[in-house]
Amino acid sequence: MSKKILVLPGDGIGPEIIREAVKVLELASEKYSLGFELVEGELGGAAIDKHGVPLADSTLALAREVDAVLLGAVGGPKWDTIDAAIRPERGLLKIRSELGLFGNLRPAILYPQLAEASTLKPEVVSGLDILIVRELTGGIYFGTPRGTTTLENGERMAYDTLPYSESEIRRIAKVGFDMARLRSKKVCSVDKANVLASSRLWREVVIEVAKDYPDVELSHMYVDNAAMQLVRAPKQFDVIVTDNLFGDILSDQASMLTGSIGMLPSASLDSNNKGMYEPSHGSAPDIAGQNLANPLATILSVAMLLRYSFKHVAAADAIEQAVSDVLDQGLRTGDIFSPGMRKVGTAEMGDAVVAALAKL
Ligand code: NAD
């Protein structure tokens, strides 16, 4: 069986955080005799600069061939003014949809060592462990028609479309229920069924799927209430399953409960658990190239890659343990820093995780 991983550093802080994650992946491969072969490609702005498009056909072909993809982040001011059809983010949407990566898993876990880094009171967030299951290849980010036009009175108008088919909802709902079975057996489906037709279908189909999971408790919440509840009493949630747009926003919000978006990994899976793994954050152009970025979200994405695409639980657990050990040592990048801790840069944090992993 081939064990090839495509590494796409991307833009901004992407190359810096990927460098650290690759060190961890290479050590895990050696330590657990996984025999991974890593190949590198371009996505986003880096691909525009090299190939003229944000995702070259050759890179997409490589992505189809490998067992998993590890991605940094894409985008940045350099490419903000180019034609919308070839913006860096288009490359990301295309690779997700071409590979059929419809199931996006975004855990929001508060490491006890970081309780002080959260903007919420420690008693509200301590022990927090939420899994947001976001639909990733449908909804308003892909719906057509979309565009801008000029009205008869000369005013400009722009529009997007939010479509969901029954099968798209059913397959992501199943991911949510399956994940809940591995955890506390609670699913909260988030929608806006009081206003949106697509959300009304969403709710109907989720209720139908729930019949196959009588052991899982299902609740529903409107997205505006969910946003409020996430900061009021986040520990009421276990698995949240929601659409592409709502999941995008709620998972960023949930990230702040954990101290920093720099701590949040993600997995995007197809129906056979082939996946693309990336931090939940963007390319952070404001801190790019300064050795300031937190590489832990990307390193934790490597743990997810081992857990979901290669079913190597021991290696995944060890990486998560190494991250926890480094936090125990008091090492913090700027985004999770609190007084009394030792501030370190991207590379030093990565090296510390490698050293902790080597000791396990
Ligand atoms: P962002 O996530 O890049 O940054 C938001 C804030 O969080 C910034 O202050 C940044 O410095 C900080 N931050 C993010 N990651 C961090 C890390 N690892 N360590 C420390 N601090 C970190 O979001 P944005 O500013 O809205 O977008 C910047 C660019 O990234 C845009 O071009 C956007 O389109 C792109 N983007 C890409 C992805 C992706 O590749 N998956 C996701 C979101 C945004």
Query: Tens of pLDDT along 39-48?
Result: 999 999 999 9
Q: Which of 252, 270, 317, 351 is catalytic?
A: 252
Task: Give yes or no: 243 in active site.
Answer: no
Q: In which band, very low, low, confident or very high, does the pLDDT at 84 lie, cut at 50, 70 and 90?
A: confident
Average pLDDT across the chain, whole number: 95
Give percent of the chain above pLDDT 90. 87
Residue 87 near residue 52, CB atoms below 8 Å? no
Task: Give yes or no: 215 in active site.
Answer: no
Is 1-109+258-360's fold the same as 129-257's? yes
Task: Give yes or no: 141 in active site.
Answer: yes
pLDDT, average across residues 293-318: 96
**Ligand 1 mean position, distance from CA 13 (Å):** 9
**Ligand 1 mean position, distance from CA 305 (Å):** 21
Domain boundaries, given as residue ranges, for the chain: 1-109+258-360, 129-257
pLDDT, average across residues 44-69: 97
pTM value?
Answer: 0.90
Mutate to test the pocket of ligand 1, among 78, 249, 281, 290 (most ligand atoms within 8 A of CB): 281
Measured by CA distance, the residue closest to atom 38 of ligand 1 is 282
The residue assigned the tokens 């691909």 is 47
pLDDT above 80: residue 17: yes
User: Measured from the CB, is residue 89 less than 6 Å from ligand 1?
Assistant: yes
**Ligand 1 mean position, distance from CA 270 (Å):** 25
The residue assigned the tokens 């279908």 is 201
Task: Give yes or no: 274 in active site.
Answer: no
CA Rg value for the chain: 20
pLDDT above 90: residue 255: no
pLDDT above 80: residue 315: yes
The verdict on domain 1-109+258-360 having CATH code 3.40.718.10 is: yes
pLDDT, average across residues 85-91: 92
Q: Which of 248, 308, 325, 335 is catalytic?
A: 248
pLDDT digits (tens, 9 = 90+) for 258-304: 888 899 999 999 988 899 999 989 999 999 999 999 999 999 999 99
What CATH number labels 129-257? 3.40.718.10
**Residue type for position 77:** P
Residue 137 near residue 164, CB atoms below 8 Å? no
pLDDT above 70: residue 238: yes
Task: Give yes or no: 192 in active site.
Answer: yes
Q: Is 338 helix (H, G, I), strand (E, B) or coil?
A: coil
Give the number of residues written for the chain: 360
The reply to whether omega before 145 is within 30° of 0 (cis) is: yes
Measured by CA distance, the residue closest to atom 1 of ligand 1 is 282
Which atom of ligand 1 lies nearest, measured to the CA of 77? 32
Q: How far apart are CA 206 and CA 193, in angstroms?
A: 12
Q: What is the pLDDT of residue 350?
A: 98
Which atom of ligand 1 lies nearest, measured to the CA of 80? 32
**Residue type for position 258:** T
pLDDT digits (tens, 9 = 90+) for 19-54: 999 999 999 999 999 999 999 999 999 999 999 999
